[in-house]
Amino acid sequence: TRTPVTVTVTGAAGQIGYALLFRIASGHLLGADVPVRLRLLEIPQAVKAAEGTAMELDDCAFPLLSGIDIFDDATKAFDGVNVALLVGARPRTKGMERGDLLEANGGIFKPQGEAINAGAADDVKVLVVGNPANTNALIAQSHAPDVPAERFTAMTRLDHNRALAQLAKKVRGTGARVSVADIKKMTIWGNHSATQYPDIFHAEIAGKNAAETVNDQNWLENDFIPTVAKRGAAIIEARGASSAASAASAALNHVHTWVNGTADGDWTSMAVVSDGSYGVPEGLISSFPVTTKDGRWEIVQGLDIDDFSRARIDASVNELSEERDAVRKLGLI
């Protein structure tokens, strides 16, 4: 039998945690033949709730689940970790300034970065889900100097999936029979925030250029882009709680694709450390089109970026630069 992969989930007692853990334990993170050992990290007040979730995980008798441990100490939780899912974060509350939000999250992601640096397995892969995800990933990464920077990623796969769903819906509206599986090469650029840029100019629907197939600039600018970028707020408005099952599903997709590879002729969106590609300042953790193979990602090179796309990528990347400047000022990186 295979050695279990150690998966650490922070914020395990939260709503994404509840939607995520059962699917990890049933093989949706790494594959249906890969046993997992779960390590859950929570704050002391939420440890009891995490224990309740662990009881339910036991009660599912998942054949792939080889053990669960619960911690309120990051150093212990990340000891030997292969896949780290950093979901727990400090949400923005009423009246909170951006500086306060970044500072509160610095207090979470700095020690977690240090703990990953101290104890993670050599092949560790980190996905930050907790918001502000890109900058939280940057904070954690900057406190893990012994871990290659490319192992720290942030999640824009939910935005990517939202874009696939909206595009498929639009094309179905014209009477065509299209499923999300027919759409390739979708891209989310920039920050996981309302400034993100979902780009369909390189996307393909059943092998044909998506923007040309849709041929509706008004829809693109005034419907598609804002719908994808503001979907999080729309879910809160409708559900009375933020996206949880869809966020968990995207986290599973992100790691599964990273580990198992993108299909030929397709790519995915991940926020990864920039090497300067497409004019994104080096070191920022920004979303790009990436291919993955053998557990490594690569930014897709050579795409033509027209003025429309350039302005939108720049706006989102500028926001990331501002966040980086702000956390620098606060001494968090």
268 touches ligand NAI by CB under 6 A: no
- Residue 296 annotated in ligand binding: no
Q: Which position among 138, 158, 290, 299 is part of the footprint of ligand NAI (CB under 6 A)? A: 158
Separation CA 255–CA 301 (nearest Å) = 22
**Two structure tokens written together for 1:** 């039998």
By beta-carbon proximity to ligand NAI, the closer residue of 78 and 278 is: 78
Helix 307-329, helix 133-142: angle, nearest 10: 50
Span interacting with ligand NAI, options 163-171, 196-204, 240-248, 302-310, rule CB under 6 A: 240-248
42 touches ligand NAI by CB under 6 A: yes
- What element of type H or E holds 282? none
- Phi, psi torsion values for 67, nearest 5 degrees: 165, 155
Confirm if 40 and 11 have CB atoms less than 8 A apart. no
Span interacting with ligand NAI, options 176-184, 203-211, 239-247, 284-292, rule CB under 6 A: 239-247
Across the chain, the runs of DSSP E, i.e. the strands, are: 5-10, 36-41, 65-71, 83-86, 125-128, 152-154, 183-184, 187-189, 197-199, 204-205, 208-209, 268-273, 285-293, 296-299
231 touches ligand NAI by CB under 6 A: no
Of 168, 111, 171, the closest CA to residue 139 belongs to: 111
Separation CA 173–CA 232 (nearest Å) = 23
Q: Which position among 36, 41, 116, 126 is part of the footprint of ligand NAI (CB under 6 A)? A: 41
Q: Determine the residue type at 117.
A: N
Q: Which residue's C-beta sits nearest to ligand NAI? A: 14
155 touches ligand NAI by CB under 6 A: yes
10 touches ligand NAI by CB under 6 A: yes
Span interacting with ligand NAI, options 29-37, 53-61, 125-133, 277-285, rule CB under 6 A: 125-133
Site size toward ligand NAI (CB under 6 A) is 27
Give the strand pairing for 197-199 and 65-71. unpaired
- What is the SS3 assignment for 103? helix
Q: Which position among 54, 87, 178, 290 is part of the footprint of ligand NAI (CB under 6 A)? A: 87
Tell the smallest beta-carbon distance from residue 66 to ligand NAI (Å). 22
Tell the smallest beta-carbon distance from residue 226 to ligand NAI (Å). 17
Q: Determine the residue type at 72.
A: D
192 is catalytic: yes
- Residue 88 annotated in ligand binding: no
242 touches ligand NAI by CB under 6 A: yes
- Residue 172 annotated in ligand binding: no
Of 80, 1, 3, 2, the closest CA to residue 39 belongs to: 80
Q: Which of 192, 202, 254, 256 is catalytic?
A: 192
204 touches ligand NAI by CB under 6 A: no
Contacts of 62 (CB under 8 A, 6+ apart): 22, 25, 26
15 touches ligand NAI by CB under 6 A: yes
- DSSP code at position 223: I
Confirm if 113 and 140 have CB atoms less than 8 A apart. yes
- Annotated binding residues for substrate, as ranges? 92, 98, 131, 162
- Annotated binding residues, as ranges? 11-17, 92, 98, 105, 112, 129-131, 162
- The residues binding ligand NAI (CB under 6 A) are 10-11, 13-17, 41-43, 46, 87-89, 91, 108, 129-131, 133, 155, 158, 192, 242-244, 247
Which residue numbers are catalytic?
A: 192
